[in-house]
Amino acid sequence: MAERADVVFVDGVRTPFGRAGEKGMYWNTRADDLVVKAIVGLLERNPSVPKDRIDDVAIAATTQTGDQGLTLGRTAAILAGLPKSVPGFSIDRMCAGAMTSVAMLSGSIGFGQYDLAIGGGVEHMGHHPMGSGVDPNPRFVSERMVSEDALVMGATAERIHDRFPHLTKERADRYALGSQQKTAAAYAAGKIQQDLVPVAIRTAEGWGLATKDEVMRPETTLEGLAGLKTPFRPHGRVTAGNASGLNDGATAALLASGSAAKEFGLQPKMKLVSYAFAGVDPEIMGIGPVPATEKALRRAGLKMDDIGLLEVNEAFAVQVLSLLDHYGIDDDDPRVNPWGGAIAVGHPLASSGVRLMNQLASQFAERPDVRYGITTMCVGLGQGGTMIWENPNYSRKAAKKA
Protein backbone atom coordinates (compact mmCIF):
# COMPACT_ATOMS: atom_id res chain seq x y z
CA MET A 1 0.00 0.00 0.00
CA ALA A 2 1.27 3.46 -0.90
CA GLU A 3 2.21 5.74 1.98
CA ARG A 4 0.32 8.96 2.52
CA ALA A 5 1.83 11.75 0.44
CA ASP A 6 1.98 15.46 1.11
CA VAL A 7 -0.55 17.42 -0.96
CA VAL A 8 0.43 20.88 -2.16
CA PHE A 9 -1.37 23.69 -3.92
CA VAL A 10 1.06 24.74 -6.63
CA ASP A 11 -0.88 27.51 -8.33
CA GLY A 12 -4.37 28.77 -9.10
CA VAL A 13 -5.95 31.19 -11.56
CA ARG A 14 -9.38 32.43 -12.47
CA THR A 15 -11.14 34.41 -15.11
CA PRO A 16 -12.48 37.81 -14.14
CA PHE A 17 -16.00 37.31 -12.79
CA GLY A 18 -18.83 38.81 -14.85
CA ARG A 19 -22.39 39.90 -14.28
CA ALA A 20 -24.89 37.20 -15.31
CA GLY A 21 -27.45 38.01 -17.98
CA GLU A 22 -27.67 39.67 -21.37
CA LYS A 23 -25.87 42.80 -20.14
CA GLY A 24 -23.00 40.83 -18.65
CA MET A 25 -19.64 40.65 -20.38
CA TYR A 26 -19.79 36.87 -20.87
CA TRP A 27 -23.26 36.67 -22.41
CA ASN A 28 -21.72 35.67 -25.77
CA THR A 29 -19.09 33.41 -24.21
CA ARG A 30 -19.53 29.68 -23.66
CA ALA A 31 -19.17 28.29 -20.15
CA ASP A 32 -16.76 25.58 -21.24
CA ASP A 33 -14.61 28.17 -23.02
CA LEU A 34 -14.28 30.05 -19.72
CA VAL A 35 -12.89 27.06 -17.88
CA VAL A 36 -10.69 26.09 -20.84
CA LYS A 37 -9.22 29.61 -20.73
CA ALA A 38 -8.49 29.15 -17.02
CA ILE A 39 -6.77 25.78 -17.57
CA VAL A 40 -4.69 27.12 -20.45
CA GLY A 41 -3.66 30.13 -18.38
CA LEU A 42 -2.73 27.88 -15.47
CA LEU A 43 -0.51 25.67 -17.62
CA GLU A 44 1.11 28.67 -19.33
CA ARG A 45 2.12 29.94 -15.87
CA ASN A 46 3.66 26.55 -15.06
CA PRO A 47 5.56 25.49 -18.20
CA SER A 48 7.66 22.89 -16.38
CA VAL A 49 4.58 20.72 -15.78
CA PRO A 50 4.61 17.77 -18.21
CA LYS A 51 1.07 17.63 -19.54
CA ASP A 52 1.16 13.86 -20.02
CA ARG A 53 1.91 13.40 -16.31
CA ILE A 54 -1.34 15.05 -15.19
CA ASP A 55 -3.35 12.24 -13.63
CA ASP A 56 -6.84 13.76 -13.67
CA VAL A 57 -8.89 16.90 -14.30
CA ALA A 58 -11.96 17.54 -12.13
CA ILE A 59 -14.18 20.48 -13.07
CA ALA A 60 -17.29 21.41 -11.12
CA ALA A 61 -20.54 22.97 -12.30
CA THR A 62 -23.83 23.26 -10.48
CA THR A 63 -26.09 23.16 -13.53
CA GLN A 64 -24.60 20.41 -15.68
CA THR A 65 -26.35 20.91 -18.96
CA GLY A 66 -25.76 22.66 -22.27
CA ASP A 67 -22.30 24.25 -22.40
CA GLN A 68 -21.75 23.15 -18.79
CA GLY A 69 -22.53 19.50 -19.49
CA LEU A 70 -20.84 16.56 -21.19
CA THR A 71 -18.38 15.63 -18.41
CA LEU A 72 -16.65 19.00 -18.21
CA GLY A 73 -13.39 17.74 -16.76
CA ARG A 74 -12.83 15.53 -19.78
CA THR A 75 -14.06 17.89 -22.48
CA ALA A 76 -12.27 20.90 -21.00
CA ALA A 77 -9.02 18.93 -20.77
CA ILE A 78 -9.20 18.03 -24.47
CA LEU A 79 -10.14 21.58 -25.47
CA ALA A 80 -7.27 22.96 -23.38
CA GLY A 81 -4.80 20.87 -25.34
CA LEU A 82 -4.00 18.20 -22.79
CA PRO A 83 -3.08 14.79 -24.19
CA LYS A 84 -6.08 12.52 -24.72
CA SER A 85 -4.44 10.12 -22.27
CA VAL A 86 -5.35 12.54 -19.46
CA PRO A 87 -8.76 11.61 -18.00
CA GLY A 88 -11.30 13.98 -16.48
CA PHE A 89 -14.67 14.15 -14.78
CA SER A 90 -17.28 16.62 -13.60
CA ILE A 91 -18.52 17.14 -10.08
CA ASP A 92 -21.33 18.96 -8.29
CA ARG A 93 -21.60 20.19 -4.75
CA MET A 94 -23.32 23.43 -5.70
CA CYS A 95 -21.36 26.40 -4.29
CA ALA A 96 -18.54 24.17 -3.05
CA GLY A 97 -18.01 22.45 -6.40
CA ALA A 98 -14.45 23.64 -7.00
CA MET A 99 -13.58 23.08 -3.34
CA THR A 100 -14.87 19.53 -3.63
CA SER A 101 -12.87 19.01 -6.83
CA VAL A 102 -9.71 20.04 -5.00
CA ALA A 103 -10.59 17.92 -1.97
CA MET A 104 -11.29 14.77 -3.99
CA LEU A 105 -8.15 15.15 -6.10
CA SER A 106 -6.15 15.82 -2.94
CA GLY A 107 -7.44 12.57 -1.48
CA SER A 108 -6.11 10.67 -4.51
CA ILE A 109 -2.76 12.45 -4.26
CA GLY A 110 -2.56 11.82 -0.53
CA PHE A 111 -3.33 8.13 -1.07
CA GLY A 112 -0.38 7.96 -3.45
CA GLN A 113 -2.35 7.30 -6.62
CA TYR A 114 -1.93 10.71 -8.32
CA ASP A 115 1.12 12.95 -8.75
CA LEU A 116 -0.40 15.94 -10.56
CA ALA A 117 -4.02 17.03 -10.99
CA ILE A 118 -6.08 20.03 -12.06
CA GLY A 119 -9.24 20.99 -10.18
CA GLY A 120 -11.60 23.89 -10.61
CA GLY A 121 -15.09 24.96 -11.49
CA VAL A 122 -17.24 27.09 -13.73
CA GLU A 123 -20.66 28.65 -13.51
CA HIS A 124 -22.34 30.62 -16.26
CA MET A 125 -25.39 31.79 -14.36
CA GLY A 126 -26.45 33.88 -17.33
CA HIS A 127 -26.86 30.79 -19.48
CA HIS A 128 -27.85 28.50 -16.62
CA PRO A 129 -29.64 30.26 -13.73
CA MET A 130 -29.45 28.40 -10.44
CA GLY A 131 -32.15 25.74 -10.36
CA SER A 132 -32.97 25.92 -14.05
CA GLY A 133 -34.17 22.62 -15.46
CA VAL A 134 -34.26 20.83 -12.10
CA ASP A 135 -37.26 18.90 -10.81
CA PRO A 136 -37.08 18.61 -6.99
CA ASN A 137 -38.82 15.55 -5.66
CA PRO A 138 -42.21 16.65 -4.25
CA ARG A 139 -41.58 14.53 -1.15
CA PHE A 140 -39.16 17.17 0.11
CA VAL A 141 -42.05 19.51 0.80
CA SER A 142 -45.04 17.17 1.05
CA GLU A 143 -43.35 15.06 3.74
CA ARG A 144 -41.89 18.17 5.36
CA MET A 145 -38.32 17.02 4.93
CA VAL A 146 -37.47 20.62 4.15
CA SER A 147 -39.45 23.81 3.88
CA GLU A 148 -39.96 25.55 0.56
CA ASP A 149 -37.51 28.18 1.80
CA ALA A 150 -34.71 25.62 1.57
CA LEU A 151 -34.71 25.94 -2.22
CA VAL A 152 -34.32 29.73 -2.15
CA MET A 153 -30.88 30.72 -0.95
CA GLY A 154 -31.87 34.28 0.00
CA ALA A 155 -34.70 32.93 2.12
CA THR A 156 -32.26 30.68 3.99
CA ALA A 157 -30.16 33.75 4.77
CA GLU A 158 -33.21 35.50 6.18
CA ARG A 159 -33.65 32.51 8.48
CA ILE A 160 -30.16 32.99 9.90
CA HIS A 161 -31.18 36.53 10.81
CA ASP A 162 -34.27 35.04 12.47
CA ARG A 163 -32.27 32.53 14.48
CA PHE A 164 -29.62 35.03 15.57
CA PRO A 165 -31.42 38.39 16.02
CA HIS A 166 -28.20 40.08 17.12
CA LEU A 167 -26.89 39.55 13.57
CA THR A 168 -28.76 42.61 12.39
CA LYS A 169 -29.18 44.08 8.93
CA GLU A 170 -27.03 47.01 10.03
CA ARG A 171 -24.17 44.64 10.87
CA ALA A 172 -24.62 42.85 7.55
CA ASP A 173 -24.55 46.15 5.68
CA ARG A 174 -21.42 47.29 7.49
CA TYR A 175 -19.73 44.02 6.68
CA ALA A 176 -20.76 44.33 3.01
CA LEU A 177 -19.39 47.87 2.83
CA GLY A 178 -16.10 46.61 4.24
CA SER A 179 -15.91 43.93 1.56
CA GLN A 180 -16.32 46.52 -1.18
CA GLN A 181 -13.71 48.80 0.37
CA LYS A 182 -11.16 46.02 0.94
CA THR A 183 -11.57 44.73 -2.63
CA ALA A 184 -11.11 48.23 -4.05
CA ALA A 185 -7.94 48.65 -2.00
CA ALA A 186 -6.62 45.24 -3.09
CA TYR A 187 -7.27 46.09 -6.75
CA ALA A 188 -5.54 49.46 -6.34
CA ALA A 189 -2.51 47.63 -4.92
CA GLY A 190 -2.51 45.06 -7.77
CA LYS A 191 -3.14 42.12 -5.49
CA ILE A 192 -6.16 40.59 -7.25
CA GLN A 193 -5.06 41.00 -10.87
CA GLN A 194 -2.03 38.73 -10.47
CA ASP A 195 -4.21 35.61 -10.61
CA LEU A 196 -6.63 36.75 -13.34
CA VAL A 197 -6.52 35.24 -16.83
CA PRO A 198 -7.78 37.78 -19.42
CA VAL A 199 -10.67 36.58 -21.58
CA ALA A 200 -11.59 37.82 -25.06
CA ILE A 201 -15.24 38.90 -25.10
CA ARG A 202 -17.68 39.93 -27.80
CA THR A 203 -20.21 42.67 -27.07
CA ALA A 204 -22.51 44.90 -29.11
CA GLU A 205 -19.61 47.35 -29.39
CA GLY A 206 -17.29 44.66 -30.79
CA TRP A 207 -14.47 42.55 -29.41
CA GLY A 208 -12.81 43.40 -26.13
CA LEU A 209 -10.82 41.90 -23.28
CA ALA A 210 -12.11 41.13 -19.79
CA THR A 211 -9.31 41.94 -17.35
CA LYS A 212 -11.13 42.70 -14.09
CA ASP A 213 -14.24 41.70 -12.17
CA GLU A 214 -17.32 43.36 -13.56
CA VAL A 215 -19.53 43.68 -10.51
CA MET A 216 -17.48 45.65 -8.01
CA ARG A 217 -19.20 48.67 -6.46
CA PRO A 218 -16.50 50.75 -4.73
CA GLU A 219 -18.89 53.69 -4.52
CA THR A 220 -21.09 51.79 -2.04
CA THR A 221 -22.22 53.67 1.08
CA LEU A 222 -24.07 52.62 4.21
CA GLU A 223 -26.87 55.01 3.29
CA GLY A 224 -27.24 53.39 -0.11
CA LEU A 225 -27.23 49.90 1.38
CA ALA A 226 -29.87 50.86 3.93
CA GLY A 227 -32.31 51.88 1.19
CA LEU A 228 -32.14 48.69 -0.91
CA LYS A 229 -35.15 46.42 -1.35
CA THR A 230 -35.43 43.11 0.51
CA PRO A 231 -36.53 40.74 -2.28
CA PHE A 232 -36.83 37.56 -0.21
CA ARG A 233 -39.18 38.90 2.46
CA PRO A 234 -41.16 42.10 3.06
CA HIS A 235 -39.21 44.22 5.57
CA GLY A 236 -36.45 41.63 5.48
CA ARG A 237 -32.72 42.04 5.97
CA VAL A 238 -31.09 40.40 2.94
CA THR A 239 -30.53 42.73 -0.03
CA ALA A 240 -28.55 42.81 -3.25
CA GLY A 241 -26.02 44.93 -1.38
CA ASN A 242 -25.21 42.54 1.47
CA ALA A 243 -25.18 39.38 -0.64
CA SER A 244 -23.23 38.09 -3.62
CA GLY A 245 -24.81 38.53 -7.02
CA LEU A 246 -25.52 36.30 -10.01
CA ASN A 247 -22.24 35.81 -11.83
CA ASP A 248 -20.29 34.02 -14.54
CA GLY A 249 -16.70 32.83 -14.21
CA ALA A 250 -14.25 29.93 -13.95
CA THR A 251 -11.29 28.82 -11.85
CA ALA A 252 -8.49 26.24 -12.12
CA ALA A 253 -5.85 25.02 -9.67
CA LEU A 254 -2.76 22.85 -10.01
CA LEU A 255 -2.27 20.28 -7.24
CA ALA A 256 0.68 17.98 -6.72
CA SER A 257 2.27 15.55 -4.34
CA GLY A 258 5.25 16.91 -2.47
CA SER A 259 7.56 14.55 -4.33
CA ALA A 260 6.17 15.51 -7.74
CA ALA A 261 6.58 19.19 -6.94
CA LYS A 262 10.26 18.55 -6.24
CA GLU A 263 10.65 16.38 -9.34
CA PHE A 264 9.33 19.09 -11.65
CA GLY A 265 10.81 22.08 -9.85
CA LEU A 266 7.45 23.45 -8.72
CA GLN A 267 7.26 25.87 -5.79
CA PRO A 268 4.20 25.06 -3.65
CA LYS A 269 2.13 28.02 -2.45
CA MET A 270 0.26 26.03 0.21
CA LYS A 271 0.28 22.61 1.83
CA LEU A 272 -3.01 20.90 2.64
CA VAL A 273 -3.51 20.11 6.32
CA SER A 274 -7.11 18.86 6.48
CA TYR A 275 -10.55 19.27 4.95
CA ALA A 276 -14.11 18.50 5.97
CA PHE A 277 -17.67 18.78 4.72
CA ALA A 278 -20.70 18.81 6.99
CA GLY A 279 -24.47 18.96 6.70
CA VAL A 280 -26.98 21.27 8.41
CA ASP A 281 -30.68 21.93 8.06
CA PRO A 282 -31.23 23.11 4.46
CA GLU A 283 -33.43 25.98 5.69
CA ILE A 284 -30.39 27.60 7.35
CA MET A 285 -27.73 26.39 4.95
CA GLY A 286 -25.55 29.45 5.63
CA ILE A 287 -24.31 28.12 8.98
CA GLY A 288 -22.71 25.15 7.21
CA PRO A 289 -19.15 26.49 7.61
CA VAL A 290 -19.44 26.20 11.40
CA PRO A 291 -19.62 22.39 11.73
CA ALA A 292 -17.35 21.92 8.70
CA THR A 293 -14.70 24.14 10.28
CA GLU A 294 -15.06 22.43 13.65
CA LYS A 295 -14.53 19.07 11.99
CA ALA A 296 -11.53 20.24 9.93
CA LEU A 297 -9.88 21.85 12.96
CA ARG A 298 -10.43 18.70 15.02
CA ARG A 299 -8.90 16.51 12.33
CA ALA A 300 -5.91 18.84 12.09
CA GLY A 301 -5.43 19.02 15.85
CA LEU A 302 -5.77 22.79 15.67
CA LYS A 303 -7.89 25.51 17.25
CA MET A 304 -9.25 28.68 15.71
CA ASP A 305 -6.59 30.61 17.63
CA ASP A 306 -4.00 28.85 15.44
CA ILE A 307 -5.53 30.25 12.25
CA GLY A 308 -3.92 33.45 11.00
CA LEU A 309 -6.00 34.04 7.86
CA LEU A 310 -9.56 33.13 6.89
CA GLU A 311 -10.99 33.26 3.38
CA VAL A 312 -14.74 32.92 3.90
CA ASN A 313 -17.03 32.90 0.89
CA GLU A 314 -19.46 35.80 1.14
CA ALA A 315 -22.60 34.23 -0.25
CA PHE A 316 -24.42 36.47 2.22
CA ALA A 317 -22.97 38.82 4.81
CA VAL A 318 -25.05 37.21 7.57
CA GLN A 319 -23.58 33.82 6.73
CA VAL A 320 -20.06 35.12 7.32
CA LEU A 321 -21.18 36.87 10.51
CA SER A 322 -22.67 33.64 11.87
CA LEU A 323 -19.28 31.92 11.52
CA LEU A 324 -17.39 34.81 13.09
CA ASP A 325 -19.91 35.07 15.92
CA HIS A 326 -19.58 31.36 16.67
CA TYR A 327 -15.82 31.75 17.19
CA GLY A 328 -15.98 35.14 18.91
CA ILE A 329 -14.20 36.87 16.03
CA ASP A 330 -14.88 40.56 15.48
CA ASP A 331 -16.79 41.53 12.32
CA ASP A 332 -13.82 43.60 11.13
CA ASP A 333 -11.04 41.24 12.25
CA PRO A 334 -8.09 41.79 9.85
CA ARG A 335 -7.59 38.04 9.51
CA VAL A 336 -10.90 37.68 7.66
CA ASN A 337 -11.08 38.29 3.90
CA PRO A 338 -8.37 40.98 3.96
CA TRP A 339 -8.81 41.58 0.21
CA GLY A 340 -12.61 41.51 0.29
CA GLY A 341 -14.79 38.75 -1.05
CA ALA A 342 -17.75 37.57 -3.09
CA ILE A 343 -20.01 40.47 -2.12
CA ALA A 344 -17.63 42.65 -4.13
CA VAL A 345 -16.15 40.37 -6.83
CA GLY A 346 -19.00 37.90 -7.33
CA HIS A 347 -19.82 34.26 -6.65
CA PRO A 348 -20.17 32.09 -9.75
CA LEU A 349 -21.29 29.14 -7.63
CA ALA A 350 -19.14 26.09 -8.43
CA SER A 351 -16.04 28.12 -9.28
CA SER A 352 -15.67 30.07 -6.04
CA GLY A 353 -13.78 27.55 -3.90
CA VAL A 354 -10.58 27.96 -5.88
CA ARG A 355 -10.91 31.78 -5.81
CA LEU A 356 -10.68 31.53 -2.02
CA MET A 357 -7.56 29.37 -2.34
CA ASN A 358 -5.94 31.76 -4.82
CA GLN A 359 -6.34 34.68 -2.45
CA LEU A 360 -5.16 32.74 0.60
CA ALA A 361 -2.08 31.52 -1.31
CA SER A 362 -1.20 35.07 -2.37
CA GLN A 363 -1.63 36.31 1.19
CA PHE A 364 0.58 33.50 2.51
CA ALA A 365 3.38 34.78 0.25
CA GLU A 366 3.14 38.19 1.95
CA ARG A 367 2.71 36.85 5.48
CA PRO A 368 5.53 34.58 6.65
CA ASP A 369 4.28 35.29 10.17
CA VAL A 370 1.11 33.25 9.45
CA ARG A 371 1.37 29.46 9.57
CA TYR A 372 -2.22 28.29 8.99
CA GLY A 373 -5.15 29.57 6.97
CA ILE A 374 -8.68 28.46 6.20
CA THR A 375 -10.88 28.50 3.12
CA THR A 376 -14.53 27.88 3.94
CA MET A 377 -17.97 28.27 2.41
CA CYS A 378 -21.63 27.46 2.84
CA VAL A 379 -23.33 25.16 0.35
CA GLY A 380 -26.89 25.06 -0.95
CA LEU A 381 -29.29 22.45 0.50
CA GLY A 382 -27.59 22.61 3.88
CA GLN A 383 -23.87 21.90 3.76
CA GLY A 384 -20.56 23.52 4.54
CA GLY A 385 -17.00 22.90 3.40
CA THR A 386 -13.68 23.87 4.97
CA MET A 387 -10.05 23.30 3.99
CA ILE A 388 -7.08 24.13 6.24
CA TRP A 389 -3.78 25.05 4.62
CA GLU A 390 -0.22 25.53 5.88
CA ASN A 391 2.01 28.34 4.68
CA PRO A 392 5.32 27.02 3.25
CA ASN A 393 6.79 30.51 3.77
CA TYR A 394 6.10 30.41 7.51
CA SER A 395 8.94 31.63 9.72
CA ARG A 396 8.91 31.46 13.50
CA LYS A 397 11.16 34.48 13.52
CA ALA A 398 8.62 36.46 11.49
CA ALA A 399 5.82 35.22 13.72
CA LYS A 400 7.63 36.43 16.84
CA LYS A 401 8.16 39.86 15.28
CA ALA A 402 4.44 40.06 14.44
User: Does the annotation mark 347 as catalytic?
Assistant: yes
pTM assigned to the model: 0.97
H or E segment to which residue 376 belongs: strand 372-379
The closest of 134, 130, 68 to 94, measured between CA atoms, is: 130
> Given 95, 124, 127, 128, which residue is catalytic?
95
Q: By percentage, how much of the chain surpasses pLDDT 70? A: 99
Is the distance from CB of 212 to CB of 186 less than 8 angstroms?
no
User: Does the annotation mark 127 as catalytic?
Assistant: no
pLDDT computed for residue 136 by the predictor = 87
Q: In the structure, what pLDDT confidence band is assigned to residue 91 with cuts at 50, 70 and 90? A: very high
Count the Cβ atoms, other than its own, within 10 Å of residue 64.
18
Is the four-CA dihedral 378, 119, 179, 247 of positive or negative sign?
Answer: negative
Cα–chain center distance at 184:
19
pLDDT computed for residue 4 by the predictor = 83
pLDDT at 1 over 70: no
Segment 207-247, tens digit of pLDDT: 999 999 999 999 999 999 999 999 999 999 999 999 999 99
pLDDT computed for residue 2 by the predictor = 56
Q: What is the mean pLDDT of the chain?
A: 96
Q: Is residue 266 left, alpha or beta, with left meaning phi > 0 and alpha meaning psi from -120 to 50?
A: beta
pLDDT at 185 over 60: yes
> Given 124, 127, 161, 347, which residue is catalytic?
347
Segment 260-310, tens digit of pLDDT: 999 999 999 999 999 999 999 999 999 999 999 999 999 999 999 999 999
User: Does the annotation mark 378 as catalytic?
Assistant: yes
